[in-house]
Amino acid sequence: MVFGISPMLIKMVVKNVLVIHLEPLTIKVVMYTRESVPVNDMLQEETVTSVYWSIGVFQIKKDGCQPCDCDPGGSYDNFCDVITGQCKCREHMTGRNCDIPKQQYFTASLDFLLYEAEASKSSGQVVIREPYRDGREDTWTGTGFVKAFEGGFLEFIVGEIKTSMDYDIVIRYEPLLTESWEDVLVTVRRPDYDQLDPNGPCTQINPEDDIKHASLPANSRSVTVYPPACLEAGKIYKIRLDFRKSSFDKETPSASVLIDSIVLIPRIDNIPWFHGSTPGESRRKEFERYQCSNPSYFGRGGKIPEICKKYHASIGAYVFNGAFCKYFPFK
Ligand SMILES: [Ca+2]
C-alpha cells in the first residue's frame, strides 16, 4: 500500500497497489491494477473519512485487490474485512457480500406492506371471490374485495414501518364503471405533528401534505396516489380512502368500485444507495432501464427479470433492516 501518492506520480505505481489520496478534508481510495489505469473509474468516487475504513473498501487477495462489492441493501455499508472480504450483514442476511437471507428467512417483496380492503374498517360490502380453477393467476390478493359506493370510505391501520421514508400509496382495484372514478380523497392520519423526528426525513410534513387525491381509471387495476406519504418508523397510522364523486358532472349514489387492497411501496428516491454517487446513479439507471418498479413485478411469483429480483431483495433488506423469519414477520 502506498499512502499520499499524488496523481502526478501514478505512472510510477506498480501493479496491484492500493493508493490512498490524502486530501484536505477526506481521503480518497483508488486501486490500480495496471500502471496508471484505475480498475474501475467508479471507485475513484468512493470517499471516506478514516484510513481504517477506507482500506476496507477492497478485499486484498494474492492476485490483487478486489472491490468489497457488498450488497447495498443486505449490508450496512460497502466496507469489508480486508482479508476475508466479509461485508457487515443486516439482520438474518448472510454470504460474503450479504445478499442471501439465512435459511428459513426471506427478504420483503416490494409490495410487502399490503393491506387488504376486506380486512379494513369500511362502509362498503365485502365481496369474497373464489380463486380461479383453470390455472389462471388471481388478479387480487386476500379473500376478495370491498365494494365501495359513492360517499363511502375505507380505513387501514398501518403500523409496520421500519424505515422512515417516502412510500407510494398504491390502490389496487377492479373498476365497475365504464368511466374513471374521478375523486378519491386519500388521507394519512398520523399520531402527532408535534412529535415528528426533527432529524428524520418527515420533519417538514404538515397536515396539508397528508391530504391527497386520486382517480381510478376504468382501464387500469391500480393507481399510485400522488404525492407519496412520508412515514416514520415505529408509529401507527390510519390511511383513509373517501370515495367522493365518481363523476365531477353528476352525483351517482349507485356508482361502485371493487377495492382489493392498498400497498405502500418504498420510493427509491429515498434510498441512499440509489443516488448521490456514480455507483448509485448507475444502479438507478439500471433499475429504471429494466422497469423494476413495474407493478406487474411486485408479486412473489411471475416472470421478474433477475436483475429486478436482486434489486427488490436489496430494497427489502434495506427498508426492513434485514430478512424475516418466514412464519414470524417483524420478529
Ligand atoms: Ca383483497
Q: Is the pLDDT of residue 218 over 70?
A: yes
Residue 119 CA to ligand 1 centre (angstroms): 8
Supply the pTM of this predicted model. 0.81
pLDDT digits (tens, 9 = 90+) for 123-151: 999 999 998 888 888 889 999 999 999 99
- Write the class of the CATH domain 113-266: mainly beta
Residue 17 CA to ligand 1 centre (angstroms): 57
- The whole-chain average pLDDT of the chain stands at 82
Residue 117 CA to ligand 1 centre (angstroms): 5
All structural domains of the chain with their residue ranges: 2-106, 113-266
- Report pLDDT for 60: 67
The proportion of the chain whose per-residue pLDDT surpasses 90, expressed as a percent, equals 60
Q: Is the pLDDT of residue 57 over 70?
A: no
C-alpha cell at 292: 423494476
Note whether 31 and 18 are within 8 A (CB). yes
At 315 the three-state DSSP class reads helix
pLDDT digits (tens, 9 = 90+) for 278-331: 889 999 999 999 999 887 777 555 688 999 999 999 999 999 999 998 665 543
Residue 327 CA to ligand 1 centre (angstroms): 21
Contacts of 132 by beta carbon, 8 Å cutoff, 6+ apart: 138
Q: Is the pLDDT of residue 198 over 90?
A: yes
Residue 260 CA to ligand 1 centre (angstroms): 4
Q: What is the DSSP letter of 295?
A: G
pLDDT digits (tens, 9 = 90+) for 89-127: 999 999 999 999 999 999 999 999 999 999 999 999 999
Find the mean pLDDT for residues 24-28: 43
Distances (CA, A) of 324 to 202, 264, 319: 26, 18, 12
Residue 191 CA to ligand 1 centre (angstroms): 26
